[in-house]
């Protein structure tokens, strides 16, 4: 308990947030020169599936299950594409797209529930009811084939 309080106090002093491990998925990287994708989802299994799909194709993937942390990452790191999952409630996705658009010029691919209206602010839209292989095809179309080490 004392260790956690010390970590939290140190985090406040250094002006960053201590985040429970359950809210951040570990960074997994592919080839060092490959394109970087920030993936955001509120559903752990969908996030993992997307992560494995992109990693398998050779992309670097950073996955978040917290919009505030994803926005912070977008501010301090450079990504080639941001993928916003359909598990995030519609109003949150709208706010997120607006905020990310104001902060950085990174292209945004927004995933939509079947029949959902297009989201303003997204550069690309993907119907999440489609086969995940089609999502990968779309990402490759946007970013090109990953560079191999």
Look at residue 6 and tell me if it is in a domain.
no
pLDDT for 112 = 94
Look at residue 87 and tell me if it is in a domain.
yes
pLDDT for 14 = 45
CA angle, 66 as apex, 61 and 72 as ends, to 5°? 75
What 74-78 contacts at long range (C-beta under 8 Å, 24+ apart), as own/partner pairs, is: 74/38, 74/100, 74/103, 74/104, 74/106, 75/103, 75/104, 77/36, 77/38, 78/36, 78/106
Closest CA to 84 of 139, 11, 30: 139
Look at residue 108 and tell me if it is in a domain.
yes
Look at residue 14 and tell me if it is in a domain.
no
pLDDT for 24 = 52
pLDDT for 61 = 94
Q: How many domains does the chain have?
A: 1
pLDDT for 1 = 52
Residue 20 structure tokens: 């429970």
* Blockwise average pLDDT, block size 10, the chain, 149 residues: 46 46 50 79 93 94 92 91 94 91 90 90 93 94 79
Give the range of the structural domain holding residue 28, as residue numbers without chain letter: 23-143
pLDDT for 94 = 92
Q: What is the pLDDT of residues 53-93, one digit of tens each?
A: 999 999 999 999 998 999 999 888 999 999 999 999 999 99
Q: What is the CATH number of the domain that holds 42?
A: 3.40.50.2300
């Amino acid at each position: 308990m004392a260790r956690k309080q010390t970590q939290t106090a140190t985090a406040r002093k250094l002006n960053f947030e201590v985040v429970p491990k359950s809210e951040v998925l570990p960074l997994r990287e592919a080839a060092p020169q490959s394109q970087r994708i920030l993936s955001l989802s509120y559903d752990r299994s969908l996030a993992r599936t997307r992560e494995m799909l992109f990693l398998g194709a050779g992309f670097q993937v950073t996955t978040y299950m917290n919009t505030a942390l994803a926005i912070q990452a977008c501010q301090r790191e450079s990504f080639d594409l941001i993928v916003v999952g359909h598990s995030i409630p519609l109003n949150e996705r709208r706010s997120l797209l607006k905020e990310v658009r104001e902060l950085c010029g990174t292209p945004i691919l927004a995933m939509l529930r079947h029949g959902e209206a297009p989201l303003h602010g997204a550069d690309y839209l993907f119907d999440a009811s489609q086969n995940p292989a089609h999502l990968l095809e779309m990402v490759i179309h946007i970013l090109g084939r990953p560079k191999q080490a």
